[in-house]
């Protein structure tokens, strides 16, 4: 099993705070430790909320970017 096979994508486009963080939390809880979740969100607050959530929960925010109005987060589950 390669690294990409352990990456899930969660598209939360159109959802507003606090839903992106709540749905990301639920998906991460269902994943195995060390696996990566790619989150796509359009709510500007997610740029603040997602890093804070990762820090509080102990997950690793591997990458944060903004592509064509969407915020992309890659989070490694603790």
Statement: the pTM of the whole predicted model exceeds 0.75: yes
Q: What is the pLDDT of residues 47-77, one digit of tens each?
A: 999 999 999 999 999 999 999 999 999 999 9
% residues pLDDT > 70 (the chain):
92
* Average pLDDT of the chain, as a whole number: 93
* Catalytic status, residue 54: no
Catalytic residue among 17, 61, 70, 72, which?
A: 17
Angle formed at CA 8 by CA 70 and CA 12, multiple of 5 degrees: 35
Three-state SS for 75? strand
Nearest one of 7, 70, 5, 3 to 38, comparing CA atoms = 7
Structural domain containing residue 16 = 3-76
CATH code for the domain in which residue 11 is found: 3.30.110.40
Q: How many domains is the chain partitioned into structurally?
A: 1
Q: Following DSSP, what letter does each residue of 14-39 receive, concatenated? A: T--TTHHHHHHHHHHHTSPTT-EEEE
């Amino acid at each position: 099993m390669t690294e990409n096979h352990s990456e899930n994508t969660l598209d939360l486009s159109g959802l507003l705070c606090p839903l992106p963080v709540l749905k990301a939390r639920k998906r991460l809880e269902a994943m195995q430790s060390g696996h990566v979740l790619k989150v796509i969100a359009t709510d500007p607050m997610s740029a603040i909320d997602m890093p804070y959530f990762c820090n509080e929960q102990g997950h690793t925010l591997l990458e944060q970017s903004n592509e064509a109005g969407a915020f992309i987060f890659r989070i490694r589950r603790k």
